[in-house]
A and B are shown apart, each in its own frame.
Chain A
Amino acid sequence: AQRVTQPEKLLSVFKGAPVELKCNYSYSGSPELFWYVQYSRQRLQLLLRHISRESIKGFTADLNKGETSFHLKKPFAQEEDSAMYYCALSGQGAQKLVFGQGTRLTINP
């Protein structure tokens, strides 16, 4: 079974502080992992995917197969990072995304 767990429903950090949003997954094969973000009053959009290994808006995420984790990190949080973040998984050959419960990130000034 495919499952994605985001243990923190809410996360609040101060501007300039490091931020880490946790994501753990359960999948027997080789998954594709994603982070999606939903800013206030905007649609859900892709932030980054593990396969591209790039940094978007200062965020990075490394797939750790041993720990089955795909945590999202940013060294210095900015106020515009406040949003709802979803970790998502897609299995081999599957064309659906399984989402975690989401983490609401608030960056305090």
Chain B
Amino acid sequence: DTAVSQTPKYLVTQMGNDKSIKCEQNLGHDTMYWYKQDSKKFLKIMFSYNNKELIINETVPNRFSPKSPDKAHLNLHINSLELGDSAVYFCAASGPGSYEQYFGPGTRLTVT
């Protein structure tokens, strides 16, 4: 069973469009995250949710809006996509008191 899953795996879209990436975890963990990996492979946190509440927002543009309908899901919606949004987006989950994070397979977003 896949612990953290993301859909879609690949997403190609044009500038100005709005798109969503979905993340689901079956670990029963309370905390979920979104990371962005740029073309130089640099990984940077974007958001963190604990039990459906936003706890970390790392100066990400307002065009990015995470949504957590329940503890097992953390979706990422991006409005008015820009070329610079092209990256691999990783979802992750961690349990209470644990700093180990379990990562999803990533979603490669290409904005043309």
Residues on A facing B (Cβ under 8 Å): 32, 34, 43-46, 49, 84, 86, 90, 95-99, 101-102, 104
Contact = CB atoms under 8 A, between A and B. Distances in A.
Nearest to B45: A96
B24 to A, nearest CB: 14
A95 B48 contact: yes
Q: How large is the interface on B (under 10, 10 to 19, 20 to 34, 35 or more residues)?
A: 20 to 34
Contact of A49 (B48, B99, B102): B99
B89 interface: no
Interface string B2-13: 001000000000
8 contacts: A43-B4, A44-B90, A49-B99, A95-B48, A96-B45, A97-B101, A98-B45, A101-B42
B43 A96 contact: no
Q: Is the interface of B mostly helix, strand, loop or mixed?
A: strand
B63 interface: no
Nearest to A104: B41
Given A49-B100, A95-B50, A96-B48, A43 B106 contact: yes
A104 B42 CA distance: 12
Interface string B83-112: 000000010001000011111111000000
A11 to B, nearest CB: 14
Given A95-B31, A95-B94, A45 B45 contact: no
Contacts of B15: none
A42 B111 CA distance: 23
B5 to A, nearest CB: 10
A109 B35 CA distance: 34
A46 B100 contact: yes
From B31, B58, B102, B103, residue with most partner A Cβ within 10 Å: B103
Across the A-B interface, the 10 shortest Cβ-Cβ residue pairs: A99-B43, A44-B103, A90-B99, A102-B41, A96-B45, A43-B105, A43-B103, A32-B99, A46-B100, A101-B42
B6 to A, nearest CB: 9
